[in-house]
Structure 1
C-alpha cells in the first residue's frame, strides 16, 4: 500500500518556541479514523486532532515511541528523526491516520507529523503495526 506522510507545518514554530525537544521529550503516535482530516497548515497541537480510534488493545493517546534518535545526514543536509517500529499487539481497531506528537508538555502537546494510509487498515485480535520508513520517521532538510 502507498501511504502519504507529511510534517505539520507548524512543527517548525513549535521547535523555534522550544516546545519540542526530540532528545528528552516523550514522543507518541496515535491512531485516528477516517473521520479525522489532518490540516497541515493549521493543526499545531494534539487538541486539534479528532476521532482517535477506540478498540481492544489500544490505549487513548496512542503508543510511546521507543529508542527515539535524532541524527544529521550531511550528504542530504537533513536532520533525521527515527524510532523503533510500533505495534499494538492483539488489537481490534480500524485506522486511517497515524499522528506523531510530543506528549511531554503539560498543556499544549505539539504535533510533529502524520501518515494517511491508502485506505482504512483494520486488525481483529491481531497485531496492528506501524513500520517506519528505513530513512526515518521525518526529515528536516536545509536547502
Structure 2
C-alpha cells in the first residue's frame, strides 16, 4: 500500500453540495493538515472518508491531528474553482518518512477528509523545519468547464 497521487475526496464534495448539505465552508479556517507516511493508500472515491491516525506521522514537534490551515479562501480563477490557504510549518521538528498530508474538516463529527496531497517522495527533519508550501495554483482546484 502506498500513496498513488493527490485528490479531492469526491463523496465529501457531493455531500456538501447535494441533499446532505454538509457543514463545509472552505472560506473558514476550520481545517487541519495531518501528515502521513507511505503506509496508507488514500481512496478518493470512498464514501464518508474521515480523519484517522493509521499511518499518521509521530515525532518531536508534531501533534497527532496536525496543524490548522489558516487564511483559507475559495475563489474563481479563470475556469477553475481554487481553494487556497497559508503555508503550514512544523518548526524544531524531528520527523521521518513524511510522504503526504490529508486536510480534514475539524469541526465536523466525524472529521470528514477534504483533500489528500501526495508529496511524491518522503521527507524527514532532524530538529529542523518541515514547510508545506502550497503551489501557486492553490491547495486544490477544480475545473469548472466540462
- Unpaired runs of at least 5, structure 1: none
- Is the 8 Å Cα contact of residues 92 and 128 (structure 2) preserved in structure 1? yes
Q: Which whole-Å CA distance do the structure 1 matches of 2:59 and 2:91 have between them?
A: 12
Q: For 1:86-133, what per-residue CA distance to the aligned partner results, in whole angstroms no more than 9, with x for missing partners? A: 10001111211111111011x211211111122211111100111100
| Aligned counterparts of 2:52 and 2:59: Cα–Cα separation in 1 | 21
Q: Match of 1:124?
A: 126
Tell whether 2:60 aligns with 1:81.
Answer: no
Q: Does 1:23 align with 2:44?
A: no
Give the deviation of 1:24 after TM superposition: 3.0
Q: Which runs of 5+ in 2 are unaligned?
A: none
Aligned alpha-carbon RMSD (Å)? 1.9
Equivalences for residues 11-90 of structure 1 within 5 A: 11-16=12-17, 17-24=21-28, 26-42=30-46, 44-47=48-51, 50-73=54-77, 75-76=78-79, 78-90=80-92
- Structure 1 segments of 4 or more deviating over 6 A? none
Q: What CA distance in whole angstroms lies between the structure 2 residues aligned with 1:131 and 1:43?
A: 29
Q: TM-score, normalised by structure 1?
A: 0.87
3-state SS of paired residue (1:41)? coil
2:115 pairs with 1:97: no
Q: May I ask how many residue pairs the two structures share in their alignment?
A: 138
Give the TM-score normalised by structure 2.
Answer: 0.85
> Greater CA deviation, 12-21 or 42-51?
42-51
- CA–CA separation in structure 1 for the residues paired with 2:74 and 2:45: 24
CA–CA separation in structure 2 for the residues paired with 1:47 and 1:63: 13
Q: Distance in 2 between matches of 1:64 and 1:14?
A: 23
